[in-house]
Amino acid sequence: MQNFFNSGLTQQQFLDEYWQKKPLLIRQAFVDFKSPISADELAGLACEADIESRLIKERGAEPWQVTCGPLEPEDFESLPETHWTILVQDVDKHIPSLQPLLAPFKFIPDWRRDDLMISFAPEGGSVGAHTDSYDVFLLQAMGTRRWQIMHEPVYEAKLVDGIELKILAEFAADETWELEPGDMLYLPPNIAHYGVALNDCMTFSIGFQAPRQIEILDSLVNTCLEKGLDGRYYADRDLALAEQGSELTPQAIQRTKDLLHDLIEQSDDLLAESLGKLVTKVKPSLYEVAFLPDYELSTPHLAKYFTQGDCYKNHYLQFAWSSHAEGGWLFSGGESYAVDKAGIPFLALLCEKTVLTEQDWFDINKNQSVVDVLRALILNSGWFFKIEVEYYDD
């Protein structure tokens, strides 16, 4: 039984009793935790052009003033002593050495994970009481933060008018905790929470993503169009005599529902592909840094590169895979890559490994469909060699 941090729960018990259901405070989830990043380093990241960051001042030029990054040195010079917060998104991707911190969360599917967001605040720093639409683990990394929550989920939140931040107009906490380094609070979606720094304070938010119905439908439609599948026509063999010729009758709506239900019912493979592409899409805020320059790469060259050095996973891209009767897919960067049946065992390897050695290449090289996928992934920035890559005209 896998222990869920130091909570006295197993991972399965956490999933059964808390995941997506109710908050859980875990004292010393990470024993003797020391932040692997300093406040200065975080401020440095917030100044970089390709990194998504925000500065929130509770008592700025206007209440809850939001400045979007990249931040300038002047932004720091004018900061008051208290009541501000810097937030930096996707730190796990910008600093891959932080990735091991996410390893204990791997019992939750990888593709559900969004990012590691890190915030720093001096005394009084807060982003106000709010709800989020995603699951989050709030790991206290430095200093003390007081978290207040409302146990009852808030689905239709009334917000404070006239400010950029989404802050709850009504918030009445029914629980208060002070989190010290190593303590962690899990919150499911829609739980109102309000965190205030009691001193110089750093909080790590391990956030999860969930696709919405419409996004999945959109991806399904796009996958169908790309494959040239245009589906069945509406049919009404049971048509009754029309009383009002201009009416879209409830029967017509029912037939339409049945038509769409049939499409989804008969499309497990299409749905897997649509979902895989959707959940591995690169966020627009990461486009500039996620994709590496193009280069030409033929299979013989691939073998040559492996004799010269290892191949590395691009941490900006998300990976997932699925299998079906005839083979499988690897998903990365919003694309799907097909392998044959014998290639299925390699999919997890390409998703979960962070380095491929020449020995891995010898294994991969036994299956042409996997070689083709690896080659396509290298061309599309999923994996890369650190050695100087030559440009070829194939």
**What does the binding site for Mn ion look like in residue numbers (CB under 5 A)?**
132
Q: Which CB sits closer to Mn ion, 137 or 346?
A: 137
Q: Minimum distance between the CB of residue 130 and Mn ion, rounded to whole angstroms? A: 6
CB 122 within 8 A of CB 55: no
Minimal distance in Å, beta carbon 144 to Mn ion? 18
- Cα dihedral 137, 111, 98, 317 sign: negative
Give the CA distances from residue 253 to residues 67, 247, 260, 267, 308, in Å, rounded to whole numbers and listed in that order: 48, 11, 11, 21, 62
- The residue among 52 and 273 lying less far from Mn ion, judged by its C-beta, is 52
DSSP H or E run through 116: strand 113-121
Which residue has tokens 């390699």?
346
Give the nearest distance from C-beta 136 to Mn ion in angstroms: 6
Cβ-proximal residue to Mn ion, closest one: 132
Q: Which is nearer to Mn ion, 96 or 189 (CB)?
A: 189
CB of residue 195 to Mn ion, shortest distance in Å = 8
CA distance 264 to 119: 41
Cβ proximity to Mn ion, 132 vs 335, nearer residue: 132
In the complex, the smallest distance separating the C-beta of residue 89 from Mn ion, rounded to whole angstroms, is 13
Smaller CB distance to Mn ion: residue 126 or 274?
126
d(CA 88, CA 130): 18
> Based on CB atoms, which residue is closest to Mn ion, 191 or 356?
191
Number of helices and strands (H, E) in the chain?
12, 17
> 145 has which bridge partners?
179, 197
CB of 138 to Mn ion, least distance (A): 8
